[in-house]
Chain A
Amino acid sequence: MKNSEKIPEGNPFRVPDNYFKELNGRIISSTIENQDGKKKQGLYVRLRPFLAVAASVAVLAILSYTGIRLFSPHNESVSLTEIPVEEYSETILNEIDLLTLEENAVLTGIPNLAPNTDKKDIIDYLILENVDINEIQEQL
């Protein structure tokens, strides 16, 4: 008796057979091993949806690109924004056919805006510009 002679000693409680033999194993499995299991599973569980999404996006991208390449009629066209302004201007000017433009103007009835000029007016203008009179006569 520890402190009181009136209080009975002993442990009246019982436990199932082999309880304490199995107890530590169960505690370990619910703490340490459970933690390890979560870690291993966590990697797999976390990666799986991301991998699925990444694979889907990759497949869609490849299919879209292939479709555009195969079925686009202007697959070699270059965007205008990719051409420098100077190069673009030269290209346009080189491609304009002045004779075609004049013909189109005549066909569409655009009036000739050049004023009626007299031969005498031309000679006066050239003399004013100090052009040699002999040269003028040769040209005329």
Chain B
Amino acid sequence: MNKGFRLVVERYSTRLYWHIRRLVILHEDADDALQNTFVNAWRNISNFRNESSLYTWLYAIATNEALTLINKRIRNSAISLDDLGSWFANSTEGSTWFDGDEAQVKLQNAIIRLPEKQRIVFNLKYYDEMTYADMSKVLKTSVGALKASYHHAVKKIENILSGI
């Protein structure tokens, strides 16, 4: 069991980190959420059934951890990431851990303005290249609804980037 879990960590930790990081933006938050993801996975590994693949199960946990952290951050409201451009430019955390050009800043600003579900769907499809079938298991949403969400997300982002 321990050896198996080590392999799971080695195989999925980097991918899950980036999935979480794109949602929470801050490195420290991503690191915390990732630790919590694997702690939860470890605690509940005995409950894991092969109804879903390990991959989608871990992504579901990671997504929940990321959203929990985002909601906590909203409640505490210590950091506002509404304007990522100025935050990346002016904060130590932002300037240290963000290396994008102006187009990337605009893209991240557009993504963070999407509704929560659309943002997750966009990230999973665009960056993680997850299939709609797997995404359906992660988010417990029908494939049709996910396709629609992604379509709307892409349109909104294109409009923002085009300055429309």
Residues of A within 8 A of B (CB): 2-4, 6-8, 10-16, 20, 23-24, 26-28, 30-32, 35
Contact = CB atoms under 8 A, between A and B. Distances in A.
A15 B34 contact: no
A124 B17 CA distance: 129
B14 interface: yes
Contact of A31 (B5, B21, B125): B5
Contact of B5 (A14, A15, A32): A32
Interface string B8-41: 0110011001100110010100000011001101
A16 B21 CA distance: 13
Interface residues of B, number: 39
Nearest to B106: A8
Contacts of A8: 103-104, 107
A13 B139 CA distance: 25
A60 to B, nearest CB: 43
Interface of B: 2, 5-6, 9-10, 13-14, 17-18, 21-22, 25, 27, 34-35, 38-39, 41-42, 96-101, 103-105, 107-108, 125-127, 129, 154, 157-158, 161-162
A7 B107 contact: yes
Contact of A13 (B99, B129, B161): B99
A31 B39 contact: yes
B107 A13 contact: no
A13 B22 contact: yes
A95 B119 CA distance: 105
Nearest to A11: B18
